[in-house]
Structure 1
């Protein structure tokens, strides 16, 4: 007897980013194409970054004022808690009281983890005044355990890092746990708060940081002019996932159709080949999970951090997988920069916006992408890749 068909559905979304503090504010930014960059002084130079706007910062601080225990945590954990509570509330999972939901699992990832607190505690260490909270507040496990605390989740609590593919791998983990019957509901996503002196210095040391501090779009993926335009940003996005049978699907549901992964041997300091072999593998892995007679992709949301090698490799991979013409291609990094471990989650949130509003803003600077805009979008492929040669691809489909 054929097994009953079921689907992984996104029941709720939480987001806080340089574009806004919830789905409506972020949607407004996407609709207008309003970039979210500002400059900070770093080593006596103006450096572009993408930080939370005043409204989002005020919303985050309101949460911290309401829950004193959150104030000791790293900013990456605070952002994750904010987004997770929003996602759980939208899904109807955020209940009052202290009852623990043992069927609710959590997987929150971050590329860098407690970046800000690490730097603060190391400075204290150098001054011989290290706090007893240094170890507890900088462990990567804070991401899932504190999110679980904030939403009363008693199931699996997974924190992980696979650099910039982190958030997509959290979605993969959540889907796997649900399909295996090891959880009934899952919160999955990514968070990052890397706007610290040492982290900015690390990106500058690689030689990829944007020098376009006076440009309205200092991060320019796929730009015609060959230069590095990487810009750091901060933010978090979390998704409430649930497995439902076919008959319980609702019009407008967003389905996680497939998750592909790929890996290639490290050939450079960032671990990507000119052909983007890791991207090719992850996209093909995702496509292979679709019905053989229905593998049409309407849009690819790229990783494209604004680096020459990374952007060109991903474009080469898309062309190798799909041939010509390729699906429509776009990205959100020209609006909010690269948020490392949170970037894939924010790309998924962007994909949800596009599927629901059936539009996205045109990239305003000269770029390599063909002007291609389907009449409608029903399936979007989201890519992410990280240092070390890994890549992941998530396929989302809109249920009409």
Structure 2
């Protein structure tokens, strides 16, 4: 008898976003289908953003007050710690002990890292009042090391950025480490706190930021009207991963991970054909059983930019042809959370798989599709500056 296949299962998921601070609050927001955008004054101009709601902010502040050291850390680190503790708790890995768990590894990523804290320290530098905490608290390594402290993880610790594919690359690393036997348990995810003056200004400088500050839907992926509606949001999501033989029925698993890359042709690094997406999706599909490679739904990257949205849709058509699955996104609700976006899309995928529900986009859009009768397999896409892309396929054990 052949050995049963081992699966990478999702033991727990923690998240904090403009929609809420746990699975229950975020599920309610998805069911309601109400966008989470507000308008702020940025450089004298009203600008749409998606920030944490009051209840989520209160939860984050409670965590901040639980440890006096936390007050010196960046918001991106604190959201990562919040989501990681939630995921570890759900997985049954969070124990009130001082000894570290050397079998638990961590990979937290962010596109921009400690943006808010860096800007504060740079301002202090210009005033010749730079703190000794500037360097240790703005390094990208804060993400994994402080998460590891918070959950008593003593295994490998990775902090990285591969721009907006960051979170899915963390998942890829988790899968690889578990399969290689380099860890027995793995926390992987992404976090981003980009609602700062300089970060917003950078996105505006690229020429992609939404001007719909008074519109109920400032971020409009797949919009019929061809214009840029990129809108920044903040948040974090973390997943507790483990390799298991014969997982129980109803257990969500990471069935495949595909990566793609294309040579730079512009400052954002994507061709009209979405070659990077084509490569990542094909690589993921090839890892599925040869006679069962059907995908029921794709959660696209589509940040609401003319070039990016069009390229991804072209790539999906090239890969799937007439059998293209239904597609959706959560960015019209929470904006683009950069390095956390893939993780928050994965959290949305878990919601969809559990509730067999996703919210149809209400503004005029290019989608002409019906909801699948059942959703058993979901693909999540992400892509980032530099020409990279990643695709992760989630499935529930039947």
Normalised-by-shorter TM-score class: over 0.9
- Distance of 2:153 and 2:187 partners within structure 1: 9
Moved more, 225-234 or 3-12: 3-12
How far did residue 68 of structure 1 move? Answer: 1.4
Q: Residues 235-274 of structure 1 correspond to what in structure 2 (within 5 A)?
A: 235-246=235-246, 249-274=247-272
Residue 68 of structure 2: aligned partner: 68
SS in structure 2 opposite 1:360? coil
Cα deviations by residue, 1:103-122 (Å, 9 ceiling, x for unpaired):
00000000000000110010
How far did residue 372 of structure 1 move? Answer: 2.1
Residue 150 of structure 2: aligned partner: 150
Cα deviations by residue, 1:278-333 (Å, 9 ceiling, x for unpaired):
00000000000011100000000000000000000000000000001410000000
Runs of at least 5 residues in structure 1 that lack an aligned partner in the other structure = none
SS in structure 2 opposite 1:310? helix
What TM-score results when the alignment is normalised by the length of structure 2? 0.99
Query: 2:305 aligned with 1:314, yes or no?
Result: no
Residue 364 of structure 2: aligned partner: 366
- Distance of 2:163 and 2:169 partners within structure 1: 10
- Distance of 2:189 and 2:37 partners within structure 1: 23
Residue 294 of structure 2: aligned partner: 296
Q: Residues 208-247 of structure 1 correspond to what in structure 2 (within 5 A)?
A: 208-246=208-246
SS in structure 2 opposite 1:384? strand
Cα deviations by residue, 1:344-377 (Å, 9 ceiling, x for unpaired):
0000000000000001111010111122211110
Residue 399 of structure 1: aligned partner: 397
- Distance of 1:129 and 1:93 partners within structure 2: 42
Cα deviations by residue, 1:74-116 (Å, 9 ceiling, x for unpaired):
0000000000000000000000021210000000000000000
What TM-score results when the alignment is normalised by the length of structure 1? 0.99
How far did residue 2 of structure 1 move? Answer: 4.4
Q: Residues 129-144 of structure 1 correspond to what in structure 2 (within 5 A)?
A: 129-144=129-144
SS in structure 2 opposite 1:85? helix
- Distance of 1:366 and 1:142 partners within structure 2: 42
Moved more, 138-147 or 322-331: 322-331
- Distance of 1:67 and 1:232 partners within structure 2: 29
Residue 160 of structure 2: aligned partner: 160
- Distance of 2:42 and 2:64 partners within structure 1: 28
* Greater than 2 Å deviation, 4+ residue runs: 1-4
- Distance of 2:348 and 2:59 partners within structure 1: 21
Cα deviations by residue, 1:220-273 (Å, 9 ceiling, x for unpaired):
001000000000000000000000002xx1122101000000000000110000
Residue 33 of structure 1: aligned partner: 33
Q: Residues 328-339 of structure 1 correspond to what in structure 2 (within 5 A)?
A: 328-339=326-337
Q: CA RMSD in A?
A: 0.8
